[in-house]
Amino acid sequence: MKQLNLKAIIEKAIEDKKAIRECIQSNGDLNKLAHDRGIKFIKPV
Amino acid sequence: MIEELNLLNQSEIKEWINNSYKLTSKCGNAHYEITFSEIADLDKCLMITLYPVDKNIKGDIKNELFSLLRKIINNNYCIIYICDHIDSKHNARNRLFRKWFVEVSDKSIMRIEEQFSEEAIVVALMKDDFEHKELLLKIIAEQKK
């Protein structure tokens, strides 16, 4: 890992989290959200 | 511990469709979606989001959730849970998540909690031997300076 601005990373994550919540609770399309916001969802198990 | 949790679990969970796990509460009335997404530049760290599909219907998902998290953490990932201030309940959400962790987790999983601003509490769950643990702790410590 390189030198990171963790605050900036967390701020971006908070915005992503808000968008994910709105998408789920409005029965939206997470694929489209991922594309639009550059979110990389993964299936870890 | 996993066997004990499986015995406690009453509902089928963890179907993964369209980027999220579907989780039904123990009594079957509440439905949740759980996502895991990569966090830029933090190797093997995943942000979890967990939301009820209907925000007015909530249920007990503690055992199912931590059963899933344990499997992921044992796969050598760090789970990052962000308690944000969107509804001004970030402290309550953090207390609940901590309570669940104490109740159903085991000593092989470590928990780090950091207040990054007035707006967010960040919680990290990982195995004690998580391969990027020292680096992650260093980044957090540097952030606090």
pLDDT of residue B106: 79
| B44-67 mean pLDDT | 89
CA distance B76 to A45: 11
Say how many CA atoms lie within 13 Å of B129 toward its Cβ: 3
pLDDT at B127 over 50: yes
pLDDT at B25 over 50: yes
Stretches where chain A sits below pLDDT 70 are 1-3
Reported ipTM: the value is 0.92
* N residues, chain A: 45
Would the CA dihedral through B4, B8, B11, B15 be positive or negative? negative
Mean pLDDT rounded to a whole number for chain B? 84
Question: In a mutagenesis test of the B interface, which of A14, A36, A42 is the best target, namely the one with the most B β-carbons within 10 Å?
Answer: A14
Chain A residues with beta carbon closer than 8 angstroms to that of B43: 1
pLDDT category, B3, cuts 50, 70, 90? very low
Interface contact flag, B72 A45, Cβ < 8 Å: yes
Compare CB distances from A30 to B18, B75, B80 and report the shortest one's residue.
B18
| DSSP string for B17-39 | ETTEEEEE-TTS--EEEEEEEE-
CA distance B78 to B125: 6
Interface contact flag, B82 A42, Cβ < 8 Å: no
| B35-62 mean pLDDT | 90
